[in-house]
């Protein structure tokens, strides 16, 4: 999953960037409202963490502008002011949730997971595909009950496929949602990660869950 952070407090933006990457998310950062608006409209993000008080273009203007232009990406607003008016106008303008600064990183993570889940058909924090179980809050993956250790990147790819189970995802879609703006889209890195996942998830089991659809991409099928 790919997250855009629009935050002008560089230190906070960098902490969030690092923390979210460690959780396996692909992260883009805009340090001002103008870049934030451009990236929110042009990059295929799965979620936007948007500060309200921003130089050049205010967060509320970004929010109303992208909603008017049809961008439906979930938006989590960050507000420094614990003001009821801010929250009400933020939610009225199309934000999906808000968090008042200062906040705990764990709380941000929990809300991000909830918003990403809300946008998929998955309603619980556990996804089951045949005998494969993903626990989205702990990132634990088990097959027939045995724990399968995965790297953050491997988990992110598996989770994305799981959230869209039984639907083919192209290499481009996977790359766009799992890597940030600075990543070279032509790389075959997705194939490399799929092979690693196959070795860990499928090789010891008769039922193969990771399916290659020729000319189209990959899917996780139960």
Provide the b/e sequence for 13-42 (b: ≥16 CB within 10 Å).
beebbeebbebbbbbbbbbebebbbebbee
Separation of alpha carbons 134 and 136, rounded Å: 6
Q: How far is the CB of 149 from Ca ion (least distance, A)?
A: 39
Binding-site residue total for Ca ion (CB under 5 A)? 3
Q: How far is the CB of 59 from Ca ion (least distance, A)?
A: 8
Please, what is the angle between helix 171-178 and helix 152-163, to 10°?
Answer: 120
Q: How far is the CB of 120 from Ca ion (least distance, A)?
A: 30
Closer to Ca ion by Cβ: residue 31 or 181: 31
Q: How far is the CB of 7 from Ca ion (least distance, A)?
A: 6
For the window 6-25, what string marks contact with Ca ion as x by the rule CB under 5 A?
--x-----------------
Show the tokens assigned to 90.
């933020």
- Short-list 160, 110, 178, 117, CA closest to 138: 110
Residue 51 engages Ca ion in binding (rule: CB under 5 A): yes
Residues in contact with Ca ion by the rule CB under 5 A: 8, 51, 53
């Amino acid at each position: 999953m790919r997250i855009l952070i629009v935050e002008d407090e560089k230190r906070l933006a960098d902490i969030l960037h690092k923390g979210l990457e460690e959780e396996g998310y692909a992260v883009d950062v805009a340090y001002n409202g103008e870049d934030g608006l451009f990236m929110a409209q042009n990059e295929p993000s799965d979620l936007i963490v948007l500060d309200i008080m921003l130089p050049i273009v205010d967060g509320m203007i970004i929010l109303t502008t992208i909603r008017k232009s049809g961008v439906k990406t979930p938006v989590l607003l960050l507000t420094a002011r614990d003001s009821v008016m801010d929250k009400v106008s933020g939610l009225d303008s199309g934000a999906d949730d808000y968090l008042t600064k200062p906040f705990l990183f764990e709380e941000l993570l929990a809300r991000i997971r909830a918003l990403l889940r809300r946008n998929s058909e998955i309603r619980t924090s556990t996804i089951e595909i045949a005998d494969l179980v993903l626990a989205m809050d702990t990132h634990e993956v088990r097959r027939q009950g045995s724990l399968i250790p995965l790297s953050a990147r491997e988990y992110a790819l598996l989770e994305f496929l799981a959230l869209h189970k039984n639907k083919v995802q192209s290499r481009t879609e996977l790359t766009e949602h799992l890597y940030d703006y600075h990543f070279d889209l032509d790389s075959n890195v997705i194939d490399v990660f799929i092979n690693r996942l196959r070795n860990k998830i499928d090789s010891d089991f008769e039922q193969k869950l990771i399916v290659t659809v020729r000319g189209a991409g990959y899917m996780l099928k139960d």
